Amino acid sequence: MGTFSGMIAGGGLVGLTLALALHEKGIKVRVFEAVKEIRPLGVGVNLLPHSVQNLEKLGLLPELEKVAIKTSSLAYYTEDGKTIWREPRGLDAGYDVPQFSIHRGDFHMILLNAARERLGAENIVSGHHFQSFEQDGGGVTAHFTDRETGEAVGTARGDFLVGADGINSRLRQIFYPDEGPPKYSGQMLWRGVTEMEPFLDGRSMFMAGHNDLKLVAYPIRSDSAKRGTSYINWIAERRIPSDLATRSADWNEKGLIEEFKPYFASWNLGWLDINRLFENAISIHKFPMVDRDPVPQWSFGRVTLMGDAAHAMYPNGSNGVSQGVLDAMTFADLMENATDIETTLTAYDDARREATAKISLANRQTGPELVMQMVKDQCPGTCGETHSCIPKDVLEEVATAYKKLAGFDKQTLKSAR
């Protein structure tokens, strides 16, 4: 095994996870983040058991348990509150580790604090937007600019470069200059957080509706339970065919309640006041549901892509962050005994690219959320409190098939421990 050092373009969730994973393997790495101040942005994300199992290896489980919700179940409903399908999740489903629902900013700060402590704050470099690179037989040289002014701010050199710089990745743009903007799904998302009384058992995630109009919600902060409330992340989703050129994928674009609330006026779940959920929101952000087409290659010599830069996918299945964590851990495992950088990066490409492409394409077919549209299309309107129009074994087959595809069915995870 050689003694290698690397560079990571992007100090988000995946970039920092990779930095921690490589540090555990004894590999020196520096993280370069475009923003000058890394702040806790965004709303809720889900960490599925396959990613949590890997985060446990990095010693992050205690910090996650302090702030996150251990998700107990996932349920699907129609807009009148009738149950389509419900399944336990995480520890409640017999997994060895929890499934977490967490504020994206909380997770980001856990990773950032750990990276600064373990790698040294000097190796987490902010205000450096990756711009270009050159590689040769001895390594890679990366060039960075100030994102606001465009002025050069420095160069760095290492044995390899990983682009974990998001859906609008500059590194991916270099590899695929004719790709264009992300592909718009026709669905607009309004994401908010509201603190109010808990719904169901206070640890559940639900999805209601169908392909054209959907509501998703789950609690994301454990400290609200001490106040007898839930800090609820919610997503209102509505089909709006439009030109993506007028839209932004920025998590911080403000959304207006009148853009989506009227479409849910007739909904009645029974156990959640949807009007209060929307009206009492602490914040509302708006962005389109977008992804990118799978590409034929991530690794080019000593340089490769990771996370959203490699496989930006629709949020169906709540799986995007988890797949980025798997990218990072796979890369670090391969680097542990690496003797040749280019061969190792090719092995990483082979291990992850096809697998994530299949998930991205499955998510375009709505992933496990397909069960909601199945009921919408097939229910004759005579079902009771629980829909019986679709056989239970058919619903279970949809759920199980996605878990296997995404790599978090129980048998796969137990075999990997």
Cα radius of gyration rounded to whole Å, the chain: 21
What per-residue confidence (pLDDT) applies to 414? 62
What per-residue confidence (pLDDT) applies to 206? 96
What per-residue confidence (pLDDT) applies to 245? 37
What is the per-residue pLDDT across 25-81, written as a single tens digit (0 to 9) for each?
999 999 999 999 999 988 899 999 999 999 999 999 999 999 999 999 999 999 999
Distance CA 237, CA 190 (A): 6
What is the per-residue pLDDT across 293-308, written as a single tens digit (0 to 9) for each?
999 999 999 999 999 9
% of the chain surpassing 70 pLDDT? 95
What per-residue confidence (pLDDT) applies to 20? 99
- The residue among 81, 76, 74, 84 whose CA lies nearest residue 379 is 84
Work out the pLDDT band at 405, boundaries 50, 70, 90.
Answer: confident
Question: Scanning the structure block, which residue is given the tokens 């050199």?
Answer: 157
Work out the pLDDT band at 226, boundaries 50, 70, 90.
Answer: confident
Work out the pLDDT band at 318, boundaries 50, 70, 90.
Answer: confident
What per-residue confidence (pLDDT) applies to 153? 97
Whole-number average pLDDT of the chain: 92
Answer for the pair 103, 43: CB distance below 8 angstroms, yes or no. yes
Distance CA 129, CA 145 (A): 5
Work out the pLDDT band at 244, boundaries 50, 70, 90.
Answer: very low
Is pLDDT above 80 for 417? no
Domain ranges of the chain: 5-69+105-181+293-364
What per-residue confidence (pLDDT) applies to 381? 83
Which CA distances in Å does 239 have to 248, 250, 256, 259, 260? 16, 19, 16, 12, 10
What is the per-residue pLDDT across 331-361, written as a single tens digit (0 to 9) for each?
999 999 999 999 999 999 999 999 999 999 9
Is pLDDT above 90 for 409? no
Work out the pLDDT band at 3, boundaries 50, 70, 90.
Answer: confident
Q: Which two tokens stand for residue 27?
A: 């590999």
What is the per-residue pLDDT across 246-255, written as a single tens digit (0 to 9) for each?
544 554 578 9
Strand order in the sheet with 283-291: 83-88, 73-77, 204-209, 213-221, 230-239, 183-196, 283-291
Distance CA 297, CA 304 (A): 9
Question: Scanning the structure block, which residue is given the tokens 């977008």?
Answer: 290
Distance CA 254, CA 292 (A): 24
Helix, strand, coil share (%) of the chain residues, nearest 5: 40, 25, 35
Answer for the pair 318, 367: CB distance below 8 angstroms, yes or no. no
What is the per-residue pLDDT across 99-119, written as a single tens digit (0 to 9) for each?
999 999 999 999 999 999 999
What per-residue confidence (pLDDT) applies to 407? 78
Distance of CA 311 to the CA centre of its chain: 11
Answer for the pair 251, 41: CB distance below 8 angstroms, yes or no. yes
Region of 186 (left: φ > 0; alpha: ψ -120 to 50; beta: rest) is: left
Distance CA 237, CA 23 (A): 39
Distance CA 138, CA 167 (A): 29
- What is the per-residue DSSP string for 331-352? HHHHHHT-S-HHHHHHHHHHHH
Q: Which two tokens stand for residue 13?
A: 């969730």
Work out the pLDDT band at 416, boundaries 50, 70, 90.
Answer: low
What per-residue confidence (pLDDT) applies to 270? 94
Of 184-193, 364-373, 395-404, give the range with the top mean pLDDT. Answer: 184-193
Work out the pLDDT band at 2, boundaries 50, 70, 90.
Answer: low
Range 236-242 average pLDDT: 87
- The residue among 307, 277, 328, 260 whose CA lies nearest residue 21 is 328
What per-residue confidence (pLDDT) applies to 415? 60
Task: Name the phi and psi angles at 394, rounded to 5.
Answer: -70, -45
What is the per-residue pLDDT across 164-193, written as a single tens digit (0 to 9) for each?
999 999 999 999 999 999 998 889 999 999
Is pLDDT above 90 for 411? no
What per-residue confidence (pLDDT) applies to 207? 95
What is the per-residue pLDDT across 119-143, written as a single tens digit (0 to 9) for each?
999 999 999 999 999 999 999 999 9
pTM over 0.85? The answer is yes
Architecture of domain 5-69+105-181+293-364: 3-Layer(bba) Sandwich (3.50)
